[in-house]
Structure 1
């Protein structure tokens, strides 16, 4: 039997919880120091002892855990998890049946009612991401709840909760049958090679599915494309399949070269017809400007925070200068695809960074498309931070 601890919330924080805000924050609690063992069940009450919600203690970078029910009698047991999983699967019934897309987010934490873990689907294989020891303490119940709700070939897990915020290296296989390496999945008919037991990143970020499709279907034909912070080259693959004259992929990570080559190859694209550079993006911008290189499309999807030997990048502080770098090497009437997954600011602020960069460079622009998370990355209006993805297609005018 798990311990149930009553947490008292300061009055100034009680209204958001009453209205459905799910993240338990350290600063909202009067007796937060009473929290000792992760996985402890918690009941939140205001200073007048009015019930606000029930959840669990799980220490992660976002907070102290999650409210998962407005019912004071709710138990976090197998039937509870089974109901949440079934609801999530039902919401994604179209994706479950799709033949041209076989990889997507099947359960998205607080967006599907239980913060702290996600489940991704890769052609029948499941990858569970655990974000705290607290939610991982329920792994037995969650794995049991999956049975009979989700048809799967095998299950893998990623433990993302050790003390310094780094991924816990381990054998990620849990049960079922082991996946081949790679598993070839489809996304909008495009092939991707994913490696489910090869560290924290499997090979593709699923939240950019609609953005990639738009580049392929509407913008790439006959264009030169620069893909910065390219990781495994997913945007480049889509651009090439959309008829781009040439793609250039730039990423500092050494493994980006073999990984990007692999993604081209599984789509029958000769990587020798493309350019794949292992180089710091900021250095490449300087090089391209010096050599007067210009591209029809420049794609930028940097991490929220990145550090190399010479450069530290923070999205909320440095994105404007990044856009300025892109403007300098974008052809007249060309396109900049600016993306960020930073949860620390919203779309309005992001548009402000773009506007500032263009004004500083005395260049006119027009936003022609904007994207946030696709429907399988479910979010709730009470937790705006959960809708982290912001993507703008910006046409340079003249």
Structure 2
């Protein structure tokens, strides 16, 4: 890991000092003097008022500088220390027999812009800016040495995966979550790095609530919530996803868990269309789970996202039986927890029901958030009992 370019220095407006001293790791491009330039991946010593730190420069990202340290330019030993700290934080998961979790959650683990997910010994590395290429080699070494990884893969997108070290896993990699639930993972072509690891604890919660219930899982992907509900004693489960491969994977996950004979219906259809048809036909459920993709990747999309969440929630509430549970998730940091609850309240008003919130949670242990970096908090998972208005 080269640090030969770490001598560059940059003075920023003093107005940023308190923000940076509190631990916020981002410096946006509009705060950088226009005449400053350096190759992406350059370490820069930054000053703002009395605050000083070391940041990684990126020529193209809206986040021009990511702060990594307060004094010394990061080296391989620095990267390994960060990884050791992150690995120790996840010890409780390993002790519980969980074999899939996020090893590095970027800013929350002191490695801004970097994600590493762990699947039964195989590590999938994702970076979110060109400048972070400088960290790939030291991270790979540290993962093989510290974590004892069977392989390290770098993923740039579905189908774009490079094996950096070790032997790549098969496309039918099996991982285990709480209670012995097993899921198939395709780290090469699946969404994200293969599985939505941030919902692991929420899948367990749904399993605990599902006994004797008819369950609808919207945007089901490979059926994680569906399998958890079935293992928890649900009476029946319907999994709805717009992609046929995802529906096929949900069926395979039921078989993997010995649920071949369970009354599970995998439906390949747009979730909004399915809900509209279910309402027209009078079909309803005791437990409805709605985990849509991000409706807002930028603040400019916020209003449209809130409108989509309101419509989706209203449709979901319409097919939830009185006294049943509605579980709503949002995976965008653009919508705050408070704004998300307001969206739910707006939908309840439209459907003339009350939502009695019984469970409201953010991210799990392996997705830590810095107190000074609220942008790191993106996941909302709210479960409420649907009650008639008085």
Whether 1:288 and 2:267 are equivalent positions in the alignment is no
Cα pair 2:29 2:62 within 8 Å, conserved: no
The secondary structure found in structure 1 opposite 2:211 is coil
Once the two structures are superposed, residues 133-152 of structure 1 have per-residue CA deviations (whole angstroms, 9 ceiling, x without a partner) of: 11122211222233431111
For 1:65 and 1:332, the matched residues in 2 are separated by 51
Q: Partner residue of 1:162?
A: none
Once the 2 structures are TM-superposed, how far is the Cα of residue 52 of structure 1 from its aligned partner?
A: 3.2
Aligned equivalent of 1:164: none
Deviates more, 1:224-233 or 1:312-321: 312-321
SS state at 2:85 partner = helix
Counterparts of 1:183 and 1:361 in 2: how far apart (Å)? 43
Q: In 1, Cα distance between the equivalents of 2:306 and 2:17?
A: 29
Further displaced range: 234-243 or 351-360: 351-360
Describe how 1:1-398 pairs up with structure 2 within 5 A: 1-2=4-5, 4-31=7-34, 34-46=36-48, 50-58=50-58, 63-71=63-71, 74-99=72-97, 101-159=98-156, 167=157, 169-188=159-178, 189-198=180-189, 201-217=192-208, 219-270=209-260, 273-305=263-295, 314-398=304-388
| Residue 199 of structure 1, CA deviation | 5.4
Question: SS at 1:366's partner residue?
Answer: strand
For residues 67 and 317 of structure 1, do their structure 2 counterparts lie closer, same or farther at Cα, with a shift above 3 Å needed?
A: farther
TM-score calculated relative to the size of structure 1: 0.89
Q: Is the 8 A contact 1:172 1:197 kept in 2?
A: no
TM-score (norm: length of structure 2): 0.91
SS of the aligned residue for 2:146 comes to coil
Q: Does structure 1 retain, via aligned residues, the 8 Å contact 2:17–2:51?
A: no
State how far apart, in whole Å, the 2-side matches of 1:199 and 1:172 are: 15
Q: Is the 8 A contact 1:123 1:185 kept in 2?
A: yes
Q: Could you say what secondary structure the match of 2:348 adopts? A: helix
Seen in structure 2, the aligned counterparts of structure 1 residues 268 and 140 have a Cα distance that, compared at 3 Å, is same
Q: Report the alpha carbon displacement of residue 24 of structure 1 after superposing the two structures with TM.
A: 1.9
SS of aligned partner of 1:139:
helix
Match of 2:30, SS? helix
Where 1:297 maps in the other structure, the secondary structure is strand
Write the distance in 2 (CA, Å) between the matches of 1:306 and 1:200: 17
1:55 is displaced (CA, Å) by 1.4
CA distance in 1 between counterparts of 2:132 and 2:74 reads: 11
* SS of aligned partner of 1:138: helix
TM-aligned CA deviation for residue 271 of structure 1? 7.0
The answer on whether the counterparts of 1:155 and 1:174 sit within 8 Å (CA) in structure 2 is: yes
1:6 and 1:61 mapped to 2: Cα distance?
19
Query: Quick one: structure 1 residues 168 and 327, their matched pair in 2 at CA, closer, same or farther if it must change by over 3 Å?
Result: closer
**Against the structure 1 CA distance between its residues 84 and 7, is the aligned structure 2 distance closer, same or farther, given a 3 Å change threshold?**
same
Report Cα offsets for 1:321-367 as digits up to 9, x if no partner. Answer: 21111111110011110000110122111111111111232212210
Give aligned pairs, total. 380
User: Equivalent residue of 1:373, what SS?
Assistant: coil
CA distance in 1, matches of 2:60, 2:387: 44
Distance 1:136 1:227 in 2: 38
